Amino acid sequence: MDFCPACGMLLQIQPATGGNRMRFFCPTCPYVCPVRNKIVKKARLVKKEVEPIFSGDDAMKLAPKTATSCPRCYNGEAYFKQMQIRSADEPMTTFYKCCNGNCQFQWRDD
């Protein structure tokens, strides 16, 4: 990504056509810069660390409970947490974790 030295606009690429070579040009002023070398840029992608919705059993001691049915073991009680994961005009997403010590199944309700 390069910017025009004259006006600061983002330069656009004009592909090679006919006898002309590929070049950068500014859409607002007459600045033109021919591409002389091969353009290669490598960037390492860093994976985002995914944090769990319910972090550990200690966090569940203070989590609120609600009366809902677990889809796996049909237990009638689950911990829940609500988060805004979409835009502000969308409703919140509710995440559940089964209270049954043997199940601990996690699901969400959109």
Binding residues: 4, 7, 26, 29, 70, 73, 98, 103
Dihedral sign, CA of 105, 70, 77, 50? positive
Name the more confident of 7 and 21: 7
Strands 32-34, 23-25: pairing kind: antiparallel
What structural domains and CATH numbers belong to the chain?
A: 1-43 (2.20.25.10), 56-109 (2.20.25.10)
CA distance 28 to 4: 9
Let me know: does 78 contact 54? Beta carbons within 8 Å.
no
pTM (2 decimals)?
0.49
pLDDT the model gives residue 58: 63
> Amino acid identity of 30?
P
Residue 110 is predicted with a pLDDT of: 62
Q: Looking at residue 61, what is its pLDDT?
A: 65
- The structure tokens 């199944």 sit at 105
DSSP codes of every residue in 2-28: -B-TTT-PBPEEE---TTPPPEEE-SS
Residue pair 56/43 in contact (Cβ under 8 Å)? The answer is no
Binding-site members for Zn(2+) are 4, 7, 26, 29, 70, 73, 98, 103
The 3-state DSSP class for residue 75 equals: coil
Summarize pLDDT for 21-75 with one digit per residue, the tens. Answer: 888 999 999 999 888 777 677 888 888 887 776 666 666 667 889 999 999 999 9
